[in-house]
Structure 1
Amino acid sequence: MKKQNRIVLDSPKVKDGNKLYCQFNCSGKVSKYFKEDTFYMKVNANIESVPKSILAIPALSNICPVAWLAGADIYVEEIDGEFLKALNTIKKSFQVLYPKHSFKGDIKYKRIKRNKRYGKKKSGLFFSGGVDSITAYIRKQNHKPYLLTVRGADIPLSEKEGWRKVRDNNKQFAKENGLYPLFIESNFRSFLNESNLNKDYSKNGLKGWWGGIQHGLGTVGLSAPLAFIKGMNRIYFASSPGIISVDNYLNFTPEPEGSHPSIENNLKWGVTKVTLESMDLSRLDKIGVIAKYIKKKNPNLQLRVCWESKKGSNCGKCEKCTRTMASLLSEGVNPSNHGFRMNKNLLQSMKKNKKLFTRLNENKESQWIMIQYKLRKNLPDKDSKYYNFCQWILKTNFRHKS
């Protein structure tokens, strides 16, 4: 007899005041997409008094998209009413983003809960220390948001030294700006079998599970218990560059992403709503905002932009690192003072791997062309260690070759 395709969540449990566990049982096709049967989260706050309907949100935010694509039903004891509405809307949003895939499966619940009495007009901002989140902070600094940093996303749970660097840097940033840092550690990526998900679904417009599906909903959902306990009625999540509206984004980007205005901006629970911040700015616009902030307010600001390095720092040689370095130079800012270093082999590596820098999507191509334009007006002196680096950029043809 064929097993029913479903996921059954046990009631979430809090241990030691700050550790959240949500065990679940899978049967049928959906089982192959999980490596573990327990979702785990640890925070630097006591969450014992958080209602179970809120405690279930982090796990559901990461399990639901898997169930939808696998066509599995999800069974829970109780669920926040606003969050249930949000999930139904977001499911439809994913279907619009990826019309060649089917998003099926329903949430079966015993009780709907209304959580309405915790809002204190506080806000939270997801903060990685990268271009997007620092720009979002600069624009929302008057709100004095809690800074939310996640371990288990780009830095694996196994990478202790890299996490220490990120945690210490973000603690220092918070201290300098009179803010309170909140840290979330979770297996929200490692409990999934991302390899099987990519193998079965990375086609027909969906390039990868993390970037294409999980990134926005899965990450923001982690903040629900902290939002309740700290009284946050607004969570800010830094947008990917160039998103002005849903229609603009669908037309602007050939590949949809898991962070999208139709995802985060529809996410809510209790009295908490989510906002995708700085949708109106391109990446170069954001670096311009940061450059002004560096010159006027924070000359020692450190940036962490690299996805290649798992060590909590910038590798300084990938396309994203070099594009950021060049962008800072085009704004008259020395990258060496802000988390980068000029490796003596960088230029040689760029020449050797020229395809990485010239076979780009339209968005990155346009960024490099604008960087070239701005660098001509802001070229470092000949004695600068960045002079030859900039000369190579100015001479390289970044335009798409059909």
Structure 2
Amino acid sequence: MGNLNSIIIETPVVKDGNKILCKFKCIGEVNKYFNNNTFYLEVNDIVDSVPISILNIPILANICPIAWITGSDIYIDQIDNQFLESMKKIKASFQIMYPQHTFRGEIFYQEIVSNQEYESQASGLFFSGGVDSVTSFIRKKHEFPYLLTVLGADIPESDIKACCKVENNVMQLAFEHHLVPVFLKSNLRTFLNEKKLNTNFSKFGLSNWWGSIQHGLGMVGLSAPLTYLKGINTIYFATSPGIFSVESCLDSAPWGSHPSIENNLKWGKTKTELEGMELNRFDKINIIADFLRIYDSSIKLRVCWESTSGDNCGNCEKCARTMAALLLEGLNPSELGFNTYNPSIHSLSKNKQFFSKLNDNKELQWKCIKNRISSTIYEEDFEFFHFYQWILQTEFKRQTG
């Protein structure tokens, strides 16, 4: 163990049948990037029968990028052979995306395992309730995929009230469409010192740790134990708009969800597939609108990254842009999980962060929305009338300085 920075991962322990506890020890400077030395994953199924090499995947998916960017070596007992090869490719992908950072460090293991004994005929779909995942649900529901929802990604896993709200919405949709919901509760964000990671590494195209590095690999990795139990051969992860094909992915902006990440991720008999790469956000909302015109569905969109309560705040840029796009499709946002009123319009206009979160793509979206909405007539008693007027009167341009 010659490396001054090392992460030693102990054999995972299953508690109460459904909670996987992974303890680890850090040697060297890498220790400062963790808030505690225990990673956990809790699922709504019994995982006692899952092999150690599969139980190790969730922690490895979330800890490897930290090891790589700090040049730390990882020591672990067992690792799945397909996953090991995947991580080599993903490490190289991060290096290509962020060439001014250095991704080093190796994985040292005692045993490499081939997990080929489980059935593999089902599919799974990561489902947050956002525009991307709802669109993927509509496109893939004929496969009857397991709906995989992470608790601990955008809302704290310790917030029981918010988690219950998200769970109830997902269970209602799953029941309505004869699907099985799977909840993956984890401290994947809070076991890290995300603030220090952002301070030290958010530069040279890497905007923040969660968005630029962790969220794609880290969340998909959580599903590994369930894929073994449920016989899932394909995991779908809805892509963010902006990546139009695998061939053009190298021209897309660096991001933690990317064809060179998820589409390279495999273990056992399971592979991952980014879904909806050819669609922009307007395409996706059009698909949702067409679906709602045919089905009387209980879909409630949850798009907000500002709110931690399991709701949409209605005041941030993403909420406002989604509400506006829904209006263009003749949908009432209040029936899909949004609400706005006069005071919130005032709040939107005074929100200093609103325009700081615009980029070229979002500016273009707002321009399209404004041009299209100007030809629509809303009555003054319509609940979104003042929101509509605010859009027409606002110049959506990124403010710098």
TM-score band by shorter chain is over 0.9
Is the 8 Å Cα contact of residues 379 and 387 (structure 1) preserved in structure 2?
Answer: no
For 1:307-345, what per-residue CA distance to the aligned partner results, in whole angstroms no more than 9, with x for missing partners?
111000011111111111111001100001110112331
Aligned equivalent of 1:180 = 180
The one of 367, 370, 373 equivalent to 2:371 is 373
Aligned equivalent of 2:203 = 203
Q: Following TM superposition, by how much is the alpha carbon of 1:359 offset from its aligned partner in structure 2, in angstroms?
A: 6.8
Counterpart Cα distance in 2 of 1:271 and 1:360? 40
Cα 1:355–1:53, aligned 2, differ >3 Å: closer, same or farther? Answer: closer
The one-letter amino acid of 1:214's match is: Q
Aligned equivalent of 1:286 = 284
DSSP 3-state at the match of 1:147: strand
Counterpart Cα distance in 1 of 2:48 and 2:377? 56
Counterpart Cα distance in 2 of 1:366 and 1:303? 23
Is the 8 Å Cα contact of residues 355 and 397 (structure 2) preserved in structure 1?
Answer: no
DSSP 3-state at the match of 1:211: helix
Q: What is the identity percentage for the equivalent residue pairs of Structure 1 and Structure 2? A: 54
Counterpart Cα distance in 2 of 1:379 and 1:197? 48
For the pair 1:51 / 2:51, whether they are aligned, the reply is yes
Counterpart Cα distance in 1 of 2:396 and 2:172? 38
The one-letter amino acid of 1:244's match is: F
The one-letter amino acid of 1:173's match is: L
Counterpart Cα distance in 2 of 1:176 and 1:377? 36
Q: Following TM superposition, by how much is the alpha carbon of 1:192 offset from its aligned partner in structure 2, in angstroms?
A: 0.7
Q: Following TM superposition, by how much is the alpha carbon of 1:294 offset from its aligned partner in structure 2, in angstroms?
A: 1.3
Structure 1 residue runs without a partner (length 5+): none
For 1:262-296, what per-residue CA distance to the aligned partner results, in whole angstroms no more than 9, with x for missing partners?
10000000010000110111111111111111111
Is the 8 Å Cα contact of residues 267 and 273 (structure 1) preserved in structure 2?
Answer: yes
DSSP 3-state at the match of 1:300: coil
**Which of 179-188 and 352-361 deviates more?**
352-361
The one-letter amino acid of 1:283's match is: R
Aligned equivalent of 1:62 = 62
Cα 1:373–1:249, aligned 2, differ >3 Å: closer, same or farther? Answer: farther
Cα 1:70–1:336, aligned 2, differ >3 Å: closer, same or farther? Answer: same
Q: Following TM superposition, by how much is the alpha carbon of 1:387 offset from its aligned partner in structure 2, in angstroms?
A: 1.7
Cα 1:298–1:250, aligned 2, differ >3 Å: closer, same or farther? Answer: farther
Counterpart Cα distance in 2 of 1:358 and 1:52? 45
**Which of 3-12 and 15-24 deviates more?**
3-12
Aligned equivalent of 2:136 = 136
Aligned equivalent of 1:237 = 237
Counterpart Cα distance in 2 of 1:225 and 1:84? 16
For 1:336-360, what per-residue CA distance to the aligned partner results, in whole angstroms no more than 9, with x for missing partners?
1110112331221222237724872
Is the 8 Å Cα contact of residues 197 and 209 (structure 2) preserved in structure 1?
Answer: yes
Q: Following TM superposition, by how much is the alpha carbon of 1:371 offset from its aligned partner in structure 2, in angstroms?
A: 1.2
Counterpart Cα distance in 2 of 1:401 and 1:196? 27
Matches within 5 A, 1:3-402: 4-245=4-245, 248-253=248-253, 256-353=254-351, 356-357=354-355, 360-399=358-397
DSSP 3-state at the match of 2:60: helix
Cα 1:3–1:97, aligned 2, differ >3 Å: closer, same or farther? Answer: closer
TM-score (norm 1): 0.95
Q: Following TM superposition, by how much is the alpha carbon of 1:399 offset from its aligned partner in structure 2, in angstroms?
A: 4.8
For 1:128-184, what per-residue CA distance to the aligned partner results, in whole angstroms no more than 9, with x for missing partners?
111110001001011100001111111102211111100000010100000000011
Is the 8 Å Cα contact of residues 350 and 357 (structure 1) preserved in structure 2?
Answer: no
DSSP 3-state at the match of 1:345: helix
Q: Following TM superposition, by how much is the alpha carbon of 1:380 offset from its aligned partner in structure 2, in angstroms?
A: 2.5
The one-letter amino acid of 1:258's match is: G
**Which of 78-87 and 277-286 deviates more?**
277-286
Is the 8 Å Cα contact of residues 316 and 341 (structure 1) preserved in structure 2?
Answer: yes
Is the 8 Å Cα contact of residues 120 and 270 (structure 2) preserved in structure 1?
Answer: no
DSSP 3-state at the match of 2:222: helix
Q: Following TM superposition, by how much is the alpha carbon of 1:298 offset from its aligned partner in structure 2, in angstroms?
A: 3.1
Structure 2 residue runs without a partner (length 5+): none
Counterpart Cα distance in 2 of 1:75 and 1:358? 41
The one-letter amino acid of 2:193's match is: N
Q: How many residues align?
A: 399
Q: Following TM superposition, by how much is the alpha carbon of 1:250 offset from its aligned partner in structure 2, in angstroms?
A: 4.5
The one-letter amino acid of 1:305's match is: V
The one-letter amino acid of 2:396's match is: F
Cα 1:92–1:130, aligned 2, differ >3 Å: closer, same or farther? Answer: same
Is the 8 Å Cα contact of residues 329 and 378 (structure 1) preserved in structure 2?
Answer: no
Counterpart Cα distance in 2 of 1:294 and 1:373? 25
Counterpart Cα distance in 2 of 1:160 and 1:401? 37
Is the 8 Å Cα contact of residues 265 and 272 (structure 2) preserved in structure 1?
Answer: yes
Cα 1:5–1:358, aligned 2, differ >3 Å: closer, same or farther? Answer: closer
Cα 1:379–1:277, aligned 2, differ >3 Å: closer, same or farther? Answer: farther
Measured on the aligned residues, the alpha-carbon RMSD in Å equals 1.7
Counterpart Cα distance in 2 of 1:58 and 1:373? 45
DSSP 3-state at the match of 2:42: strand
